[in-house]
Amino acid sequence: MTILLVGNTRRREFREVRAAMDAGVRVVEATDLEAASSLLAEGEHAFDLIVLAAAYPGQFSAEGVERLRRLSPLSRIVALSGSWCEGELRSGHPVPGAVRVYWHQWGPRIGRELARWLAGLRSSWGLPATATEEERVLTMAEEPCPRRSGLIAVCSGEPDVQDWICDACRRAGYVTVRLRPGDPPLTEQPSAAIFDGSDEPCRQIGDLRRFAAKVRPAPVIALLGFPRQEDRDALLAAGASALLSKPLFVQDLFWQLDACLGFSQGD
């Protein structure tokens, strides 16, 4: 697979974009749409994916993106949105006909989609450009649920959310236990843990640090609504091994658990 990556990937929010791509994937970078168009016009590369890393709304003009489509009609376009693009669906002009992924969703999404694409399996990113977001979600729902084992400690201040997380983990074969930061340590060492934070990470740091200490050395996956880069850095410093944004797809949660526990998608 060959990917054309367009934009400034040296920005903090995009610093792990390349690292998240499989070693078997060839990546060619272009700083802007003009450079990307020149690469496509040369015709030396056939790109499966064109990833537009947008640091701010309107960075990539509709005319420029349409030029890319004409030059490479078989390429799928993924709009990778930075922190300043969170409200673009309400107040801006998102790239039409593109798969939309926020910077904090990139790791699980690119990991899952590339694994399926490279294996010749049906991929939501491989759907036609005219596919709707609902059609992509339904395609994701068709993915088989991996069967795993192990104990997952779950912490959430919202009972409904805690129930959902526990049900999802049990569906994948895990055993779950509810554990709050103030509870005594578990008698059995968990394989991994999930910490559901609020939308105000500064109020969660102490709880996360205490929770991580109780389950250590188990990896902790933190959940947070619409995180900023500084939120992610603070949670990782407090003991989280990874961060997922809410709302989230259960497939992303399973992928992150696999990554933390050392499973591959083919296991």
**pLDDT tier at 257 (50, 70, 90 boundaries)?**
very high
Query: Under 8 Å CB-to-CB from 136, ≥6 apart: which residues?
Result: 99, 124, 125, 127
pLDDT value at residue 92 = 67
pLDDT of 247 reads 82
Q: Could you tell me which CATH number the domain at 151-261 has?
A: 3.40.50.2300
Q: What percent of the chain has pLDDT over 70?
A: 95
Do 2-141 and 151-261 show the same overall fold? Answer: yes
What's the pLDDT at 1?
84
Least confident of 98-107, 138-147, 254-263: 138-147
Residue 179 or residue 127, greater confidence:
179
236-240 long-range contacts, Cβ below 8 Å, gap at least 24? 238/205, 238/208, 238/209, 238/212, 239/208, 239/209, 239/211, 239/212, 239/213, 240/195, 240/208, 240/212
| Per-residue pLDDT at 146 exceeds 80 | no
- Average pLDDT over every residue of 126-147: 81
pLDDT value at 63 more than 80 = yes
pLDDT at position 200, please? 63
The fold adopted by the segment(s) 2-141 is Rossmann fold (3.40.50)
When pLDDT is averaged across residues 134-160 and rounded to a whole number, the result is 86
> Which band of pLDDT confidence, cut at 50, 70 and 90, is reported for residue 49?
very high
- The pLDDT tens digits for 95-116 are 877 888 999 889 888 888 888 8
Residue 134 confidence (pLDDT) above 70: yes
pLDDT at residue 77 greater than cutoff 90: yes
Can you give the residue ranges of every domain in the chain? 2-141, 151-261
**pLDDT at position 91, please?**
65
